[in-house]
A and B are shown apart, each in its own frame.
Chain A
Amino acid sequence: MNELLLSIPFLRDHILTVVIFLPLLGAALLFFFSDEVKIKWFALAVTVVDFILATPLVCRFDTTTHAFQFVERYVWIPSWNIHYYLGVDGISVLFVYLTTLVGWVCVLASWTAIERKLKEFMITLLVIQTAMIGVFCALDFFLFYLFWEAMLIPMYLIIGVWGGANRIYAAVKFFLYTLAGSILMLVGIIALYFAAGGTFDIPELMEHRYSFTFQAWLFVAFFFAFAIKVPMFPFHTWLPDAHVEAPTAGSIILAAILLKMGTYGFLRFSLPMFPDASIYFSPHIIVLSIIAIIYGAFLALAQEDIKKLIAYSSVSHMGFITLGLFIFNKNGVEGGILQMFNHGITTGALFLCVGIIYERTHSRLIKDYGWGAKLVPIYVLFLFIFSIASLGFPGTNGFIGELLILFGAFESFKPFVVFLLAGIALGAFYMLWMFGRMTFGAEVAHGEGDEGHDDGGHKIWDINLREAIALIAFVVFVFWVGFQPGPFLEIMHESVDNLLTQVAGSTDVAIASIK
């Protein structure tokens, strides 16, 4: 299949362009549809084709090099030396794949959940997919920033138009928070352009050495953009609002992809371009990460609302990732990247689970459930899998990622392990507590059997085929990474090694300049 796809010359040379812009083309074509059923199937077809086209990226990925692959480079704005420059390496390719996977899952998740303006919703969904894939593939800073900011508009609309009761507040907060963070990055990007002698070429900018003061300023300018996206403590306050109010597909995209862009930004730009500053600031970042891990977990414990609980659990889990990245050893960084992928899978899946049950009851409160095991046993099975994956149970993907980060932390500075373990323990606590309360909590007042009703009299039925397919897509990756993480780690080995040499190469310089 992959051979077949790549044997088409156009695809072989422009595979990234096709993967990025296919959804946009689909969105444009959707304008001409009017029948709701056709719209859904067309959007699904586009996203599935996009997913299939993205598979050769992973399967035919050359794991023996850290160089960028599937590269496309054309002059775009010659006056500023801007190129249309795409490529993926071991760090980004997994996220391109994840984005295309989440793409069609989101379409399935919105199949019946979106009751009004379906066409506009699907268009917005496809547009944001183009922007997200573009962020991970762009190798020109101008192009990167374009995709990065262009993502804001569709997400603003997804939350604000199709969200819950308090959606406008959440949408505006999301928009302003992320915009305010990323505009300083724009100044940073332009400063970098002049410092490196007039180029936006990302690989070239990585080669360049900058003075420590310059690195420190740039690190700070970029930090706000990425830290808000992650979100790191104390910039996390937009996340619960956005998650709670967003429709299911919006929550999945936020959790699975958008949050990863923050950590991806650190990996792609902050670490290789400002290694001295990264080392200099790493203690601060690690402290913030530890606060996020513990504080996020405690906040999650206190939530009544399932979506809020998962949102705060994201804050905690993203803390693991940022910690893993900023201890600068192989296990930590690889664990961080793998955990980015894992978190995308499990948290995306958990939001999908919430969305599925919300469609039946229109309640997000844990106390309104409790009849799970009795009325929706198959659903509960899935919820169980994702809950244990989220808390890092052995055999699931979360375990591998967290274990690698633990190894990394152990190598780097042993006391970190204490906080990480505390985070994992708290994670088990809030996830299992939520799961228990949702499934074995209350007696069912009305009805019985799997065609029953909940306390509020809503008709409850177990998952259907469409929902099952979406969930199974995530389950596959939960166990695949859980039992066979090798191929995933292999993809990133070379790129991570290269990244670490870039950082390590400057360590002595950094220590000297700090002293």
Chain B
Amino acid sequence: MIFSLKDIVAILPEITIVAGACVLLLAALLIPKGERKDVIAYFAIGFVALAAIDTLIISGMEKTTVLGGMFVLDGYACFFKFVFYIGTILSILLSLNYVDEEKINVEEYYILMLFSLSGMMVIASGANLLTIYLGLELMSLPVYVLVGFLQRDIRSNEASMKYIVLGAFSSGILLFGISLIYGLTGTTQLVGIAEALTDATVHVPVFALAVIMLVAGFGFKIAGVPFHMWAPDAYEGAPTPITGFMSVAVKAAAFAALLRVFIEGLSTVQADWQLVVALVSVASLVVGNVVAIAQSNIKRMLAYSSVGHAGYALLGLVAGTAEGVSGVMFYMLTYTFMNLGAFGVVITMRKGSQMGENIEDYAGLAKTNRALALAMLIFLFSLAGIPPTAGFVAKFYIFMALIHQGMIPLAVIAVLMSAVAAYYYARIVMIMYMREPAGEFELARSRGLVYALVLAVIAVILMGVYPTYFIELAQRATFIM
């Protein structure tokens, strides 16, 4: 097969990341051991930035489908790629100090993140179910390894094991769904599927099974109920920056695929999948937010909160309109900042003997570390969706899309659950601000952490107060009109 120049240009960002990761694998051997991993981290950030520049340049191009229809380059893909870049860069910045703290002295840590990133990028550009599947696997395999990176921590091992087994299982289900779709429509091309589905004869019961399998497969990746069982354990056991990485970038990638498959490929049969997706969404909202209340470990709490947020974002898919799609895109962008910000604070609390994972560990944080507590307050209220933060605008966007479609009961459930969510977010604020500290806080200090937190705070406030630019960006980038 001969690649045209157009093909190469279109996949230049992916090439940059994969080539960069390979170069770093080799280069790691040449750099003296002492400073190796930080240098690798900075180079990793550099490659992501390079890919971002590539993407920026080619994002001006018309929508093009390359590589024999397998790979599409459009505004939608570019928007999501930027979400992944931001997620990856922030995660790397958050890792700089953490890997020292946990004595993870392996440079592959960052390289695996780059490989995972390349998988996400393939997903965002996937125009074919197989491309998307390949991207999903390319994204997931490095993450399986990253989750288990704390070799001496039994929780990390357990998390990795669970994630691999359930992940493999869900991939199987997804693949089964894809094969059923192929069997019914004769193609794995999303556009082709959409055309084939206009023919009423494909509406056989087995088609419903295919839809359910697709929902289950993607539902696993976004940690939607009832496919969320792995999430609390994996989130708790994984190195904290990886938890953050999984909860934003991996989830955003799965949403990128979900939206493209369901709204581009299966849009003609929206009635068939809407109910299933709505059920998953409501279940995620209820289970995620209610169970989060009972958590005492902050990583587990954020895991359940992440399940709840998947529920909110899914509502945008249920709405199924251009508004819904751009709502989800905007949601993923804001969620990247606010959730990684919150994880950043959790990472700052991890120092020496202090695990900083128990919610009670935060007691009185505001007394000794005002800036950090204030940052956490902003992230938590943003996650709770209280104005004037980005989280509010994101939820508002989704509700607009839902109510525009007349789905008021769903919107009511969603707002009621956000009141439940406010309880456990506000509880951490309460513990930080209204309790007395048990002792001195030992906090991790590094420039990477500071950069990441400051960036996240600015973004959360900016997108809350003046979201116009980002909303328009998301609106322009949807693939449906």
List the interface of chain A (C-beta within 8 A of B): 76-80, 120, 142, 145-146, 149-150, 152-153, 156-157, 160-161, 167-168, 171-172, 175-176, 179-180, 183-184, 186-187, 190-191, 193-194
CB contact between B408 and one of A76, A175, A191, A193 (< 8 Å): that residue: A191
User: What size tier do the contact residues of chain B reach?
Assistant: 20 to 34
7 tightest A-B contacts by CB?
A: A183-B415, A146-B387, A180-B419, A160-B434, A190-B403, A149-B387, A77-B468
B400 within 8 A of A: yes
Complex interface residues of chain B between 381 and 431 (CB less than 8 A to chain A): 381, 386-388, 392, 396, 399-400, 403-404, 408, 411-412, 415-416, 418-419, 422-423, 426-427, 429-430
Residues of B that sit less than 8 Å from A by CB: 366, 370, 377, 381, 386-388, 392, 396, 399-400, 403-404, 408, 411-412, 415-416, 418-419, 422-423, 426-427, 429-430, 433-434, 466-468, 471-472, 475
Chain A's nearest CB lies how many Å from the CB of B311?
Answer: 15
Bound Cα distance from A194 to B404, whole angstroms: 7
Partner of A187, one of B408, B423, B472: B408
Interface of B is mostly: helix
Whether B387 lies near A160 (C-beta < 8 A) is no
Complex CA gap A152/B377 in Å reads 13
Is the Cβ of A171 less than 8 Å from the Cβ of B430? yes
User: If A80-B400, A161-B434, A190-B403 touch, does A172 touch B412 (CB 8 Å cutoff)?
Assistant: no
A79 touches B408 (CB 8 A): no
Give chain A residues whose Cβ lies under 8 Å from the Cβ of B403. 187, 190-191, 193-194
Q: Which residue of B lies closest to A181 (CB)?
A: B419
Q: Which residue of A lies closest to B464 (CB)?
A: A146
Chain B residue numbers with a CB within 8 Å of A146 are: 387-388, 392
Minimum distance in angstroms from B174 CB to a CB of chain A:
34
Given contacts A80-B400, A149-B392, A150-B386, contact A160 B430 (CB under 8 A): yes
- 14 extra A-B contacts, CB within 8 A, seeds A146-B387, A190-B411: A76-B466, A77-B468, A77-B471, A79-B475, A149-B386, A149-B387, A149-B392, A153-B386, A157-B429, A160-B434, A161-B366, A183-B416, A186-B399, A190-B403
Identity of the chain A residue whose Cβ is nearest the Cβ of B395 in the assembled complex: A186
Contact B412 A150 (CB under 8 A): no
Q: With A161-B433, A184-B415 known to touch, is A79 a contact of B471 (CB < 8 Å)?
A: yes
Across-interface contacts of B412 in A (CB, < 8 A): 184, 187
Query: In the complex, what residues of B have CB within 8 A of residue A171's CB?
Result: 430, 434
State the CA gap A171–B431 with chains docked (Å). Answer: 12
Measured between alpha carbons, how far is A152 from B422 in the docked complex, in Å? 11
The reply to whether A157 and B433 contact each other, CB–CB distance below 8 Å, is: yes
Question: How far, in Å, is A75 (CB) from chain B's closest CB?
Answer: 9
Most buried by A among B411, B422, B434: B434
Contacts of A179 in B (CB 8 A): 386, 419, 422
Inter-chain contacts of A193 with B (CB < 8 A): 400, 403
With a CB–CB cut-off of 8 A, which chain B residues contact A184? 412, 415-416
Closest B residue by C-beta to A180: B419
Question: Which residues of A have CB within 8 Å of B423?
Answer: 172, 176
Minimum CB–CB distance from A172 to chain B (whole Å) comes to 6
Q: List 28 A-B contacts (CB under 8 A).
A: A77-B468, A77-B471, A79-B471, A79-B472, A80-B400, A142-B396, A149-B387, A149-B392, A150-B388, A153-B381, A156-B426, A156-B429, A157-B433, A168-B434, A176-B419, A180-B419, A184-B416, A186-B399, A187-B399, A187-B403, A187-B408, A190-B399, A190-B400, A190-B403, A190-B411, A191-B403, A191-B408, A194-B403
